[in-house]
């Protein structure tokens, strides 16, 4: 079963968070599980963002979470956020793509 994690946060320092994402991608190339990662900006709430990470399974997502680079990036991201970072963990039941 596929797994999706949605990370939701506010920040006035998005460029720094984007640089962290890029650094994480470079550091984990070849060692992280395959995932589709989409970063989104809320059109209706200034400074509000989402990162949607899609994994082939919950186990692969946990393997990614256990990477030291992922842990370090998450901690730095939390420091750059304007308030708490929210996480939503979803098991994918179906996907309809036309």
Chosen CATH of 3-91 out of 3.30.70.100, 3.40.190.10, 3.40.120.10, 3.40.50.10860? 3.30.70.100
Rounded mean pLDDT of the chain? 94
Q: What is the mean pLDDT of residues 52-60?
A: 95
Q: How confident is the model at residue 98 (pLDDT cuts 50, 70, 90)?
A: confident
In 3D space, the residue among 3, 25, 16 whose CA is nearest the CA of residue 82 turns out to be 16
Q: What is the mean pLDDT of residues 55-72?
A: 93
Q: What is the largest CA-CA distance in the chain?
A: 40
**In the chain, domain spans:** 3-91
3-50 pLDDT tens trace:
999 999 999 999 999 999 999 999 998 888 878 999 999 999 999 999
In 3D space, the residue among 16, 25, 32 whose CA is nearest the CA of residue 76 turns out to be 16
């Amino acid at each position: 079963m596929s797994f999706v994690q949605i990370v939701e946060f506010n920040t006035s320092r998005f460029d720094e968070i984007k640089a962290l994402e890029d650094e994480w991608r470079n550091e984990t190339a070849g060692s992280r599980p395959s995932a589709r990662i989409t970063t989104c900006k809320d059109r209706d709430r200034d400074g509000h963002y989402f990162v949607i990470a899609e994994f082939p399974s919950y186990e692969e997502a946990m393997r990614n979470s256990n990477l030291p680079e992922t842990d370090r990036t998450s901690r730095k991201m939390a420091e750059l956020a304007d308030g708490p970072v929210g996480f939503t963990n979803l098991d994918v039941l179906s996907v309809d793509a036309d």
